[in-house]
Amino acid sequence: MPFMPVKFNLQKRVKLAQGLWMIYWLSVIVGILIFSLGIFFKIELRKRSEMMDNNESHLVPNLLILVGLLACGVSAFGGKVCHDSLDPVKFAKWKPMLKPYLLLCCGFNALMLLTVLLCFLMQFAVYLTLAEGLKNSIKFYKDTDTPGRCFMKRTLDMTQIEFRCCGNNNFRDWFEVQWISNRYLDMSNDLVKDRVLSNVEGKYLMDSVPFSCCNPGSPRPCIQHHLTNNSAHYDYDHRIEELNIWTRGCREALFSYFSNMMNSIGMLIIATIILESADMAGLKYLTTALETMEDPENPECESEGWLLEKSVKETFSEMLAKMKTLGASNQVEGGDAAEAAT
């Protein structure tokens, strides 16, 4: 008893072949889209790699690039088979390759499912990497004379300007590190000496933020220094002042950017899985319909197409039996040889 049989006459077969051909080419375009999204994601990760201490994981974009290429290849092959399917001579040469091809498609769908899972789960890894990386970036902001870290200041400034954020969790992260290099501090000045002596590690700490934290939308020229001192500025109350500097932290800003990207890519891959499954089902129907033609010489005859030759349960038990035979084949042969000997 075949699983989900459908009767096909010539017209239906032709329509199925044409429709399937178009869907395969749509899959090729979607494959190209996934490939380019993978490259885009990889480039974005590289751009922000300094914020993530250069140890971000490139597993997801690499997998996306692979999936995109495979989707193109698999769908192009499927489209070619569809194109040749209505010509019995050409179809005959594709026939032996169909079973391995369908198995390959199943494996490909499993790979895409894995990619979707990774897209959603790796966001946690990105969050943790960002937290660690931004903490270090803020620490090394002042080291513009240390080789390997010269551009940390510029990168962090540009990131804060672009993503409209300040600090790791919020702007107070800047109060806890020395972000002015000692080269620009007059160590003979009393004020400087007081500040340096005021903490255990001898860091020049102050309640100020870099200029890149400033919000251009503020009606007032940016107040960068003495942020917690209301009397340092005219008509200023640091508890109600909201527009002066960005209130959002860069970890949250960067994470929401990457998380949106990864979510949309995940959605696209789910749509691709559905598309590929439809492709596989269509191809199975087409090939079975062509195989079961009673009279191969007469193209107008009716035929039947199905998804599985027997019902789901029977196919499953057959597969299990096959695997058991494969596994027990050594023992069976050994038993036979022993019996033959005796």
Partner 1 sequence: MVLLKIKFTQQRRVHLAQGLWLLSWMAVMWGAIIFCLGVYLKTELLRRDEVMDNTEIHVVPNILMMVGLASIGTNWVASRVCQDSMDATRFPRWKVLLLVWFAVAAVLCCLLIAVVVLSFALQGRLEESLKVGLRNGIRFYKDTDVPGRCFQKETIDRLQMEFRCCGNNNFKDWFEVQWVSSRYLNFTSKEVKDRIRSNVDGRYLLDGIPFSCCNPSSPRPCLLYHLTDNNAHYSYDYHSEELNVYSRGCRQALTDYYMQLMNSTGPGVLSVILIQISVLLSMRYLQTAMEGAMGLEDPEGESEGYLLEKGVKETFEDLKVNALTMLKFGQVDPNDTEGSSEAAEKDASPTPAS
Which pair of structure tokens corresponds to residue 194? 């007081």
Residue 78 or 210 having the CB closest to partner 1: 210
Which pair of structure tokens corresponds to residue 324? 């058991």
Which alpha helices (H) appear in the chain, and where do they start and end?
Answer: 10-47, 59-85, 88-94, 98-139, 152-163, 190-197, 250-291, 312-341
> Residue 322 carries which DSSP code?
H
Q: List the beta bridge partners of residue 308.
A: 3
Q: List the beta bridge partners of residue 3.
A: 308
- Give the CA distances from residue 7 to residues 14, 35, 86, 286, 293, in Å, rounded to whole numbers and listed in that order: 13, 38, 17, 11, 11
Interface residue with partner 1 among 96, 100, 148, 221 (CB under 8 A) is: 221
Residue 157 or 302 having the CB closest to partner 1: 157
Residue 4 or 150 having the CB closest to partner 1: 150
* Interaction mask 178-217, partner 1, x per CB under 8 A: -xxx-xxxx--x--------------------xxx-x-xx
CB of 234 to partner 1, least distance (A): 4
Q: Is 148 in the site for partner 1 (CB under 8 A)?
A: no
CB of 137 to partner 1, least distance (A): 13
The three-class DSSP label of residue 191 is: helix
Q: Is 247 in the site for partner 1 (CB under 8 A)?
A: no
Q: Is 220 in the site for partner 1 (CB under 8 A)?
A: yes
CB of 157 to partner 1, least distance (A): 4
Q: Which residues bind partner 1 (CB under 8 A)?
A: 144-145, 150, 153-154, 157-158, 161, 179-181, 183-186, 189, 210-212, 214, 216-217, 219-222, 224, 233-235
